[in-house]
Amino acid sequence: MVSDILTPEQLKKANPVFGQLSFDDHEQILFCNDKDTGLKAIIGIHNSVLGPALGGTRMWQYANEWEALNDVLRLSRGMTYKSAITGLNLGGGKAVIIGDAKTQKNPALMRRFGEFVNGLSGKYITAEDVGMETSDMDIVREVTPYVTGISESLGGAGNPSPITAYGVFMGMKAAAKYKFGSDDLENRSVLVQGIGHVGESLVEHLTNDGAKVIIADINEARLEAVSAKYGASIYRGNDLYSEAVDIYAPCALGATINDDTINKIQAKVIAGAANNQIANESVHGKILQQKGIVYAPDFLINAGGIINCYAEIEKFGKAEIMRKTENIYNTTLEILNNADKNSMTTLDAALTIAKNRIEERKNKNS
Ligand code: NAD
């Protein structure tokens, strides 16, 4: 028991959940534990004013449970603003499963996780995130209807990653237009960090546009394969952030813009798929603004995936998915211009629009 480990005074100060730095008025947090399958998961519902909280499930080997909780709190909050700014009638939620997706994921564990999702009766709808495949969502679908990102053969919209990549590409082009005066990426150097599901698809768009693509990943086999397929050069240095590139595209995990990296970054534009790229929004967002580095807010430009998931709920097809995703270009440009006009960080400019939409709906509902 925690009370056996901590003194009453320490316990009072600990506030392990509601007192967390990343706790931001989340509505509900569900801790899921199943001895038989070894499932340990946390589902976070940040806000459901605009609709059911939709967000993917991440399976990751967290250093500890604290890190997992922190991640689900940050990710679910990001989903709220992502759906709000994209104009979707969805709230923000996310789930994390603690464990190694390569060795600990199996159908029984995924089914048990699905049962926990089902228990929330539609308040939370899941999908894939890091460590998950469309086939995992198909298994979850066996026990709950509250899942998206399922196979097209089962009536779903399929893997959202290519759509996410297309949205990131649109957002990147808008940021290039704003910074360089042209959205043509031909001969622009772009460093893509993380060439997984989204990163590889982004590399394809960039290559087709004539960009000079540099790739980085911790997975050597993927580096070789993606480099061979698209002719991208592999980053072999040990100080990626100091690389003098036009555009840095974080497509691995979050918080890569942090105290250690912020003053090294040489890129003129940051536009990528990873969620929660900025470790400390108020501090690091401001520094980027001061340095004149254009930051395309992650939750805005990586919304293609959620648009794809939303299509399964609202039953619209590929053409509408692409139209909505392409619109990320216009929204990004509008937000970058707004930020400039109002001397705000681009993150604050995007958050203001998203929060206003939620507030308006709340007032209408009350
Ligand atoms: P993925 O697991 O398929 O790919 C992640 C890649 O990053 C892997 O190749 C991995 O080896 C690499 N990686 C991990 N740590 C790294 C490090 N320190 N340095 C370099 N590479 C590293 O995941 P994904 O689905 O491509 O998602 C990528 C990011 O985009 C995640 O942050 C995810 O939350 C976000 N995102 C994904 C979607 C989607 O549709 N898949 C939608 C929105 C946001």
Question: What is the tens place of the pLDDT at every residue in 45-98?
Answer: 999 999 999 999 999 999 999 899 999 999 999 999 999 999 999 999 999 999
Residue to mutate, 72, 128, 217, 219, ligand 1, most ligand atoms under 8 Å from C-beta: 217
Q: Give me the pLDDT at residue 1, please.
A: 47
Distance between CA atoms of 198 and 58, rounded to whole angstroms? Answer: 14
What percentage of the chain reaches a pLDDT higher than 90?
89
Q: Which two tokens stand for residue 288?
A: 């980027």
Q: Give me the pLDDT at residue 19, please.
A: 78
> What is this structure's pTM?
0.92
Q: Give me the pLDDT at residue 17, please.
A: 78
Q: Give me the pLDDT at residue 8, please.
A: 67
What percentage of the chain reaches a pLDDT higher than 70?
97
Q: Across-strand partners of 45?
A: 28, 93
Q: With 80 as the cut, is the pLDDT of residue 306 above it? A: yes
Active-site annotation holds for 94: yes
**Chain mean pLDDT for the chain:** 94
Confidence of residue 310 (pLDDT cuts 50, 70, 90): very high
Confidence of residue 22 (pLDDT cuts 50, 70, 90): confident
Instruction: Give the mean pLDDT of 110-135.
Output: 96
Distance between CA atoms of 241 and 226, rounded to whole angstroms? Answer: 21
Q: With 90 as the cut, is the pLDDT of residue 253 above it? A: no
In contact, 93 and 46? CB cutoff 8 Å: yes
> Nearest residue CA, atom 39 of ligand 1?
161
DSSP collapsed to 3 states, 68-86: HHHHHHHHHHHHHHHHHHH
> What does the pLDDT look like over 212-221, one tens digit per residue?
999 999 999 9
Distance between CA atoms of 187 and 191, rounded to whole angstroms? Answer: 12
Q: Which residues line ligand 1 (CB under 6 A)?
A: 129-130, 160-161, 164, 193-199, 216-219, 222, 251-254, 273-275, 302, 305
Q: Give me the pLDDT at residue 76, please.
A: 97
Instruction: Give the mean pLDDT of 120-134.
Output: 95
> What does the pLDDT look like over 149-190, one tens digit per residue?
999 999 999 888 999 999 999 999 999 999 999 999 999 999
In contact, 92 and 47? CB cutoff 8 Å: yes
Return the SS3 of 9. helix
Domains of the chain (ranges, CATH numbers): 2-75+91-154 (3.40.50.10860), 161-356 (3.40.50.720)
Lowest mean pLDDT among 187-196, 216-225, 277-286: 277-286
Confidence of residue 4 (pLDDT cuts 50, 70, 90): low
Distance between CA atoms of 265 and 279, rounded to whole angstroms? Answer: 14
Overall size of the chain counted in residues: 366
Confidence of residue 278 (pLDDT cuts 50, 70, 90): very high
- Other C-beta atoms closer than 10 Å to the C-beta of 336 total 23
Atom of ligand 1 nearest to the CA of 256: 18
Among 94, 105, 173, 268, which one carries the catalytic annotation? 94
Q: Give me the pLDDT at residue 13, please.
A: 66
Q: Across-strand partners of 147?
A: 126
